[in-house]
Amino acid sequence: MTVIACDPPPESESERSRNQPGSKLEHAQNKRAAQEGARVAFQAHRQSISPSDADAIATFFDLPARWNRATGPLVRDYLDPNIPADRWVKDASHHIGELRAVYLEMYTCTLAIQDPGIRSTFQEIVANYRSKLDCVTALHNAVARGDQEAEQRAQQALSEASAEGQMLGEAWLERLRPHVDPQVLTDALKKRGKEIGELMKPG
């Protein structure tokens, strides 16, 4: 059987514009999708996210990594049976101090957000971090006192607060996913500065 190769029909100007990678139309569509996704995910009340709010969000997004860097060795050493309790209590004091500093920066970022809906969303997240900070502090105090019952209560409370934080994160991603790839927006937000302001400005 002979196969006859045919050229595809020529594209119209509008089709070429839509299909061209990196076109202005594609950029505008991605921008609108990102903005709408962020509005829904953060439960914004206003029609667009201002550059100042976007910058506060981006600053906030840098902080969980610092939190994790502090909690990592704190939890690791707590679970290590070869590290004496008195040594853990001494070393943990530094890490808890860093957690307090991170929490205060999160709180400050939240206060800087002007959109009441977005601010409320982040207040809920910050409240969870405060719960985890309180639980870690209670655990530290219980170990320092040698109070095993208080230590167990603090462990349970910390586990519940961590689970709540996981649920908050999953709910945020579920609200975002229908509008834009969460990783795309997360990476963009982390860049901060001019690119963030441009991304979030209205059409």
pLDDT tens digits for range 131-188: 999 999 999 999 999 999 999 999 999 999 999 998 988 887 777 666 656 566 556 5
Q: What is the pTM of this model?
A: 0.71
Q: What's the pLDDT band for 54 if we cut at 50, 70, 90?
A: confident
pLDDT above 70 coverage of the chain, percent? 67
Q: What is the mean pLDDT of residues 9-17?
A: 44
Percentage of the chain surpassing pLDDT 90? 41
Q: What is the mean pLDDT of residues 192-199?
A: 42
DSSP state of 93: H
- Beta carbons of 50 and 115 less than 8 angstroms apart: yes
- Please report, as a single letter, which amino acid is at residue 73: P
pLDDT at 40: 72
Q: In the predicted model, what is the mean pLDDT of the chain? A: 77
Dihedral angle, C-alpha 137, 143, 145, 148, nearest 10 °? 110
Q: Per-residue pLDDT for 4 more than 80?
A: no
34 or 157, higher pLDDT: 157
**How many Å is the maximal CA-CA distance in the chain?**
88
More confident residue, 40 or 134: 134
Q: Which of 90, 89, 98, 91 is nearest to 70 (CA)?
A: 98
H-assigned helices in the chain: 13-19, 24-42, 51-79, 85-112, 116-145, 148-176, 182-191, 193-200
What's the rounded Cα separation, in Å, for the pair 70 and 92? 9
